Amino acid sequence: MQTVNSIQELRAIIKAQRIAGKRIGFVPTMGNLHEGHITLVREGQKKADFMVSSVFVNPTQFGAGEDFDKYPRTLKEDQEKLSAAGCNLLFAPPVDEMYPGDQASWATVHVTKVGERHCGASRPGHFDGVSTVVTKLFNIVQPDVALFGKKDFQQLAVIRRMTTALCFGIEIIGVNTVREASGLAMSSRNGYLSAEEKQKATIIYQMLCRTRDAIRSGDKNFTTLEQSANATLAQAGFQPEYFTVCRADTLEPAGAGDKNLVILVAAKMGKTRLIDNIDFVTA
């Protein structure tokens, strides 16, 4: 697997692949790769002939006081993992390749509604940073298909809306969350947790499953279910930010008649903010 750091080099390689008739698949990441990311590459190989991944810790999607500086940067290990998975090309640009000079302030992509609730409300500017960098990466790579984990369910919804609204013509595939045996969703931020905190964090997926099962058994009192889940998370030592039953398409609060649902949760354990979700169909 070749690694390139410049947009120009990347474009030259992809152009040659496209001329050779190859279908290009793309997995954007911020590195510190785990099995969830590698699954995206493997799923991409079923849909594309030439897989490109990017590792770029994007400063514009971190708010003041968030973990941009301490976000784990593990490029060598990431290269090894991607190479072992059969990824063909890695784009690992420095910040000034993606945002030369003051260009980060020249243009922003904002996805309304779906990008404004939940994490969009609690992390102001976060999805603008994500949408803008993904737009740039899409324009640089020009993939036929791009893959994102369902672990970041709202991010996936934002990217789907943006891709449609801005006519990118890229197939967006959401891939199921990969979990530890304990049920904890794999995340680069799990590395911030102690062994004890990791054990406590398994309550998140347990509450998601318990709430889904209650809804499927006919309990449509979403507010009570949400309050009970928030209380259980708080008892386990979390500061819950939201635990909310939503429509899976718009991420608006679900009504009793809605059938395609997602439960979204964000909670902090100390300084570590974890998110997870479960999507399902109910009668």
How far are the Cα atoms of 21, 64, 99, 151, 161 from residue 136, in angstroms, in the given order? 23, 22, 10, 22, 16
Measured CA to CA, the distance from residue 198 to residue 207 in angstroms comes to: 15
| 264 lies in the binding site for ligand PAF (CB under 6 A) | no
Per-residue interface string for the shown chain with ligand PAF, residues 51-90, x marking contact by CB under 6 A: -------x--x-----------------------------
Q: Which stretch binds ligand PAF (CB under 6 A): 27-35, 68-76, 91-99, 214-222?
A: 27-35
29 binds ligand PAF, rule: CB under 6 A? yes
Per CB under 6 A, does 207 bind ligand PAF?
Answer: no
Looking up tokens 């799990």 gives 190
Between strands 260-269 and 239-247, the pairing is: antiparallel
Interface of this chain with ligand PAF, residues 137 to 156, rule: CB under 6 A: 152, 155
Q: Which of 37, 110, 118, 126 is catalytic?
A: 37
- Of 155 and 230, the one with the shorter C-beta distance to ligand PAF is 155
Window of 10-18, 26-34, 70-78, 95-103 that interacts with ligand PAF by CB under 6 A:
26-34
Question: Closest by alpha carbon to 141, among 4, 23, 26, 1?
Answer: 26
Rounded Cα–Cα distance for residues 102 and 106 (Å): 7
Tell me the helices (H) and strands (E) count for the chain, helix number first.
10, 9
| Residues near ligand PAF, by CB under 6 A | 28-30, 58, 61, 130, 133-134, 152, 155
| Residues classed as catalytic | 37
